[in-house]
Chain A
Amino acid sequence: MSKSTNNLYLRFPVVRRIEHLIMLLSFTTLGLTGLPQKYTESSIGAFVLGLLGGIENLRFIHHTAAIVMMFGTAYHILVMGYSVFVLRDQMSMLPSIQDAKDGLQALLYNLGLAKTYPQMGRYTFEEKMEYWAFLWGAAVMGATGFLMWNPITATQYLPGQFVPAAKAAHGGEAVLAVLAIIVWHMYGVHIKRFNKAMWTGTQTEAEMLHEHPLELADMKAGLADKRPDAATLRKRKMIYYPVAAIVTLGMLAGIFGFINGEKTALTTIAPLTETQIYSPQTPQP
């Protein structure tokens, strides 16, 4: 191995690593507190329920983790906005036909039907799949979560059965998401090779050559994202920051509405009727 293969390339700056950490913590908490609500009858479900102090506590933790994920999503949108508008980075996460071709080629290679493994850029088809699956999942979970969190508001505009449908979808999507993370993420990032880039932020040249050869080639050819010059940067920031501030306020208002939009139910339940218990028949038989 030549010396140059030990060069480190920045893969994830700190802002992106923070995003990952927020999502990692909130996703795990949501899964651990959500699935026992779906499978209350199972012994593991009952165990977690008991461990975390019962169903109402579990729901509270679940809701709290959901709020964290909402903030994580808002943060991601702001970071993406900065990356796309201010830095004008290549939108390397967008899916393309090439990804499908890469995926197919990888599969054929694994089966021994193709001679070579596909060469990929900044994000491999596996990573893109996971990102967009997560995005799909977050959208479904957010929307269905809103319906369950705010059923009164929701049913002012939607048929009532959207609420149990949301619950069904929330549960189904949860199972899918957790299992997909266990199969796809675990294998792709931890088992195939223990990939620490999301923690250290960097990859070695050997790793880059192995996993992102096209990106490495671009970097070496000077085609990688370049920071705009100071003046352009300042000009774009002047536009982006006010817009981002408004968007941020909008998102915060959205999150606030999501959380506090309605008092769904009374916390106490009134006795059905104040029945006169002792009411002897007259005359007493």
Chain B
Amino acid sequence: MRRPKLTHTFTFLAGIALVALVMAGSKSEAAHAAPNANPVNAPAAQMDNSDCLVCHSSPMFVTYMPSSEKLSLTIDEDKFNKSVHGENKLACTDCHTDFTSFPHEDLKANSLREFSTTYYMTCKQCHAEQYNKVLDSVHQRALAGGNTNAAVCSDCHNPHEQTRITDKATGEILNTARMHIPETCARCHSTIYEAYKTSVHGNALTQEGNTDVPTCIDCHGVHNIQNPTTVTFRNSTPFLCAKCHTDATIMDKYGISTNVLNSYVADFHGTTVKLFEEEFPGQPTNKPVCTDCHGVHNISKVDNAETGIALRENLLIKCQRCHPDATSNFPEAWMSHYEPSPEHFPIVYYVNLFYKFFIPAVLGGMIFFVLTDIYRRIVNRIKGKGVKHS
């Protein structure tokens, strides 16, 4: 049976429109993760935001979930307008696709948490890249495993109030946004945040507003956050820290050596870890990584009067974690990231110096003698005589 020609034309036009839409979508994706304003197919009879705010701007506007939890329905219009979504003139119904008309249908969720952990799918409409990354994250795995405490989009990004995070042109995270990252994670990881705040990194960020220091995401990543307790993560730790600690543009400001990775890898511990990382990244090694001596979230300055591991007594405590019988001389067996020199670890320096000259001297002598012997043999052979003994 043949279809009417009109249908063909319609299908064709619809196809072109779809292709155009996809191209527009992918273009904005490539340029930047942040989506264009309102790329979603708008419903036919769209309610304007002002329609929604008639009710939702009133304070103390609440409803009760079937679980009898209270759900606030008040939207702070001012905050929303200042948010990145407000700036981009997103309509309420862009996200609340199931509330496009009045009266609303009932909420499908039974509890606040169920609402969050099901409703975040709406973010995917515009933020597919971030959503897909989250699918690989430790949070998503926990959620899939039934842990509803695991963070979803809205736990970190309040969609009604989230201001711009990344620079529109470069895609880099804005320093103003970096300042608030640890606070965001702290909502669920407050114990770790308390430790972080006291650390050299956290203190600089929270007290001095210094954004050179790492926030949570610089080590853990963002969206596709991995489990940091795996062997693979542990084995890669030195290279994670080295990202900043071998970068002279950051370290020179603070007079911190950028040779820390090299000096670590030159040592027995670091050599081993590096080889594990390269050859068997998933296999555990008992050799320490940066965090075993310096700490994780509570990293302190090495010259900190109380906990600094530049103090031998403090370092000994770290050594004893793996070497329980170690005594006071033992920490010096580790060269504390120093290159041996006449000032630091002179014995090592002079041993190296000795062999630097001893090896060429001995071998040079040997090679010289061997060469003279070869020369004599050739000369004797040409002259046709044997070795003459005295």
Q: Cβ of A264 < 8 Å from any Cβ of B? A: yes
Interface residues in B376-390 (C-beta closer than 8 Å to A): 376-377, 379, 387-390
Stretch at the interface among B44-52, B302-310, B332-340: B332-340
Stretch at the interface among B33-41, B59-67, B83-91, B272-280: B272-280
Residues of chain A at interface, number, CB under 8 A: 69
B330 touches A164 (CB 8 A): no
Known: A107-B369, A115-B388, A169-B351. A155 touches B326 (CB 8 A): yes
Q: Cβ of A277 < 8 Å from any Cβ of B? A: yes
Q: Cβ of A183 < 8 Å from any Cβ of B? A: yes
Known: A111-B372, A117-B390. A279 touches B335 (CB 8 A): no
Q: Cβ of A210 < 8 Å from any Cβ of B? A: yes
Q: Cβ of B243 < 8 Å from any Cβ of A? A: no
B interface, how many residues as a size bin?
Answer: 35 or more
B363 touches A155 (CB 8 A): no
B189 touches A49 (CB 8 A): no
Stretch at the interface among B118-126, B210-218, B290-298: B290-298
The smallest beta-carbon distance between A182 and chain B, in angstroms, is 9
Q: How many A-B residue pairs have CB under 8 A?
A: 190
Could you pull out 26 A-B pairs where Cβ atoms are within 8 angstroms? A37-B271, A40-B274, A49-B279, A54-B276, A54-B279, A109-B388, A115-B388, A116-B390, A117-B387, A117-B389, A152-B327, A155-B330, A160-B331, A160-B334, A161-B332, A163-B332, A165-B347, A165-B348, A184-B366, A210-B387, A264-B323, A265-B323, A269-B292, A272-B295, A279-B189, A284-B187
Q: How far is the CA of A110 from the CA of B374 in the complex (A)?
A: 8
B188 touches A54 (CB 8 A): no
The smallest beta-carbon distance between B99 and chain A, in angstroms, is 24
Q: Cβ of A87 < 8 Å from any Cβ of B? A: no
By beta carbon, the residue of chain B nearest A144 is B351
A49 touches B275 (CB 8 A): yes
Q: Mark B282-319, 1 if CB is under 8 A from A, else 0.
A: 00111010011001110000000000000000000000
Q: How far is the CA of A171 from the CA of B286 in the complex (A)?
A: 23
Q: How far is the CA of A159 from the CA of B377 in the complex (A)?
A: 52
B325 touches A168 (CB 8 A): no
A173 touches B355 (CB 8 A): yes
Q: Cβ of B190 < 8 Å from any Cβ of A? A: yes
Inter-chain contacts of B186 with A (CB < 8 A)? 281
B373 touches A192 (CB 8 A): yes
Q: Mark B202-246, 1 if CB is under 8 A from A, else 0.
A: 000000000000000000000000000100000000000000000
Q: Cβ of A250 < 8 Å from any Cβ of B? A: no
Q: Give the one of A37, A187, A267 with max B CB within 10 A.
A: A187
B362 touches A176 (CB 8 A): yes
Q: Of A40, A111, A172, A184, which contacts B359 at CB under 8 A?
A: A172
B359 touches A175 (CB 8 A): yes
B358 touches A164 (CB 8 A): no
A272 touches B329 (CB 8 A): no
By beta carbon, the residue of chain B nearest A45 is B275
The smallest beta-carbon distance between B168 and chain A, in angstroms, is 27
By beta carbon, the residue of chain B nearest A109 is B376
Inter-chain contacts of B322 with A (CB < 8 A)? 265-266, 269
Q: Cβ of A180 < 8 Å from any Cβ of B? A: yes
Q: How far is the CA of A140 from the CA of B113 in the complex (A)?
A: 68
Inter-chain contacts of B268 with A (CB < 8 A)? 148, 167
Q: Of A106, A118, A156, A161, which contacts B347 at CB under 8 A?
A: A161
Inter-chain contacts of B284 with A (CB < 8 A)? 268-269
Q: Of A119, A152, A175, A285, which contacts B330 at CB under 8 A?
A: A152
By beta carbon, the residue of chain B nearest A183 is B366
Inter-chain contacts of A84 with B (CB < 8 A)? none
Q: Of A117, A152, A164, A276, which contacts B348 at CB under 8 A?
A: A164
Q: Cβ of B367 < 8 Å from any Cβ of A? A: yes
The smallest beta-carbon distance between B284 and chain A, in angstroms, is 8
A267 touches B286 (CB 8 A): yes
Inter-chain pairs besides A155-B333, A175-B359, A183-B366, 8 sampled, C-beta below 8 Å: A116-B390, A160-B330, A160-B331, A161-B332, A162-B347, A192-B373, A213-B389, A275-B195
Q: Cβ of A151 < 8 Å from any Cβ of B? A: yes
Q: Cβ of B115 < 8 Å from any Cβ of A? A: no
Q: How far is the CA of A138 from the CA of B229 in the complex (A)?
A: 44
B326 touches A152 (CB 8 A): yes
B329 touches A159 (CB 8 A): yes
The smallest beta-carbon distance between B310 and chain A, in angstroms, is 14
Inter-chain contacts of B190 with A (CB < 8 A)? 279-281
Q: Of A110, A119, A179, A187, which contacts B363 at CB under 8 A?
A: A179
Q: Cβ of B321 < 8 Å from any Cβ of A? A: yes
Q: Mark B345-358, 1 if CB is under 8 A from A, else 0.
A: 11110011011001
Q: Cβ of B12 < 8 Å from any Cβ of A? A: no
Q: How far is the CA of A187 from the CA of B195 in the complex (A)?
A: 65
Q: Of B272, B323, B362, which contacts A152 at CB under 8 A?
A: B323
